[in-house]
Amino acid sequence: MSNAAESDATQGGHGALVALLAAACGITVANLYYAQPLLGLIASSLHVGQGAAATVVTVTQVGYALGLLFVLPIGDLTENRVLVVRILAATAVSLVVAGLAPNFGVFLAFCVLVGLTSVVAQILVPLAAHLAPEGQQGRYVGRVMSGLLLGILLARTVASFVADVAGWRTIFLVSAGLTVVLAAVLWRALPTRRPDHPDGYRSLLATVARLAREEPVLRRLALCQATMFGTFTAFWTAIAYELVDEHGFSQAQIGVFALVGAAGAAAAPLGGWLADRGWGHPARGAAFVLAAASLALAGLGSHSVVLLAVAAVLLDLAVQCHQVMSQQVMYALRPDARARLNTVYMTTVFVSGAVCSAVSGLLHDAFGWAGVCVFGSVYPLVGLLIWVTGRTTAPASDAPATEDAPPEAVTPR
């Protein structure tokens, strides 16, 4: 059989599993964003101000960052199928308590736990890279990441529609039930992946810190995506206030707006296609410019819902395309340590997102939508400066030797 035929056969055999991974990533990461378009309803129901309600987005992402830092590395230590199902069980419990929370303090605490346990998506993305045939990692990761981005964007739409019909608490309870179903499906469908890290959890965390020190390309990739995701989070945290206050949108209309923004999910396969063909580096530079321009458009066109929607699509396209192309480079640095690489990368990214969600709330209170847009226009240019002044591509021939040998096995079920 020719190499091309073997590649097609492998791709076909993994196609259903990759689609499942994409759906699972979308379902789990959506938990981080259900509250975002509901902040006004949450503030009213739990008797807090809009500024306090905006901290829901921040603490959820802080929880996610903690999960990335302390839970995600276990993906290089523990059999992944068992790990994923256990974490999903904890997610379901956290969602139920958040949905039934009697006051803002309890709700906020369990939002942290929802974030902490929603790292399943970042365990599944490296698995897609492990399944991919040589030379197609970008395409596989791009497909899974498209599901993740759809989860981020459709979460706002679904949450808005559900809240409009049945109240804001319902979406958390519905998501808990969906999470239980997902855990059962993944238990049956996921391959058995046994990492081969020789030491324990403490050693694993030590290697995470060592990777951050020893891999300058990893650090720069993480910082670059942090500027992009911070801009993304600032936009989507503040846009609900802008649409309600300036355009009189209902919750259902906010949901439709978020659905329009989901068109940016098409960028994930595009990013993988560009990366696999060696065009990732210049395309990442263009993504920074596009992100900055989209926030400038959102500021200048704030009077027009159409222009705001165009800005949302362009921003989502730029952020997602940059993410996939960066991950293709990152996973090539240390194939045996992909979960730990992802820990450094995604922790940096989501800390930036958490900070920027808080900053956007403060800026919106102080300067309105214009303040958010000025911040969002400048922040990607910081990433562009990092991209210009330092290497963000994997070395071709001087890649570090892998730490663990032999590489872990991925066994179909």
The pLDDT assigned to 354 comes to: 80
Q: Is the pLDDT of residue 51 over 80?
A: no
Q: What DSSP string runs through 191-249?
A: PEEE----S-HHHHHHHHHHHHHH-HHHHHHHHHHHHHHHHHHHHHHHHHHHHHHHH--
H or E stretch including 294? helix 280-300
The residue that leads in pLDDT, 61 or 285, is 285
The pLDDT assigned to 310 comes to: 92
pTM of the model: 0.73
* Amino acid at site 11: Q
The pLDDT assigned to 8 comes to: 42
- 2 band by pLDDT with thresholds 50, 70 and 90: very low
8-393: in CATH 1.20.1250.20: yes
Strand, helix or coil for residue 411: strand
Q: Is the pLDDT of residue 110 over 90?
A: yes
* DSSP code, position 168: T
25: which 2 tokens? 């990533």
Q: Say if residues 270 and 142 touch (Cβ distance below 8 Å).
A: yes
Helix axes 305-333, 280-300, angle to 10 degrees: 160
The pLDDT assigned to 228 comes to: 95
The 10 Å CB-count burial string (b at 16+, else e) for 147-166 is: bbbbbbbbbbbbbbbbbbee
User: Within 13 Å of residue 75, how many CA atoms lie on the same side as its CB?
Assistant: 30
Domain ranges across the chain: 8-393
For the chain, the average pLDDT equals 82
Q: Is the pLDDT of residue 401 over 50?
A: no
303-356 pLDDT per residue, tens: 999 999 999 989 988 998 888 888 888 878 887 777 788 888 988 988 898 889
* DSSP code, position 409: E
Report which of 391, 347, 386, 396 is spatially closest to residue 217, judged by C-alpha positions.
391
CB atoms within 10 A of CB 399: 13
Rounded CA separation 140/132 (Å):
6
Q: Is the pLDDT of residue 26 over 80?
A: yes
- 4 band by pLDDT with thresholds 50, 70 and 90: very low
Q: Is the pLDDT of residue 245 over 90?
A: no
Report which of 68, 128, 119 is spatially closest to residue 344, judged by C-alpha positions.
68
Close Cβ partners of 13 (under 8 Å, ≥ 6 residues apart): none
Rounded CA separation 107/116 (Å):
14
Mean pLDDT in residue range 388-407: 51
Q: Say if residues 186 and 60 touch (Cβ distance below 8 Å).
A: no
Q: Is the pLDDT of residue 398 over 50?
A: no
Across 28-37, 55-64, 126-135, 241-250, least confident range: 126-135
The pLDDT assigned to 408 comes to: 45
Q: Say if residues 345 and 141 touch (Cβ distance below 8 Å).
A: no
Report which of 123, 114, 115 is spatially closest to residue 94, judged by C-alpha positions.
114
Pairing of strands 409-411, 192-194: antiparallel
174-223 pLDDT per residue, tens: 999 999 999 999 999 887 777 666 667 887 788 888 888 888 999 999 99
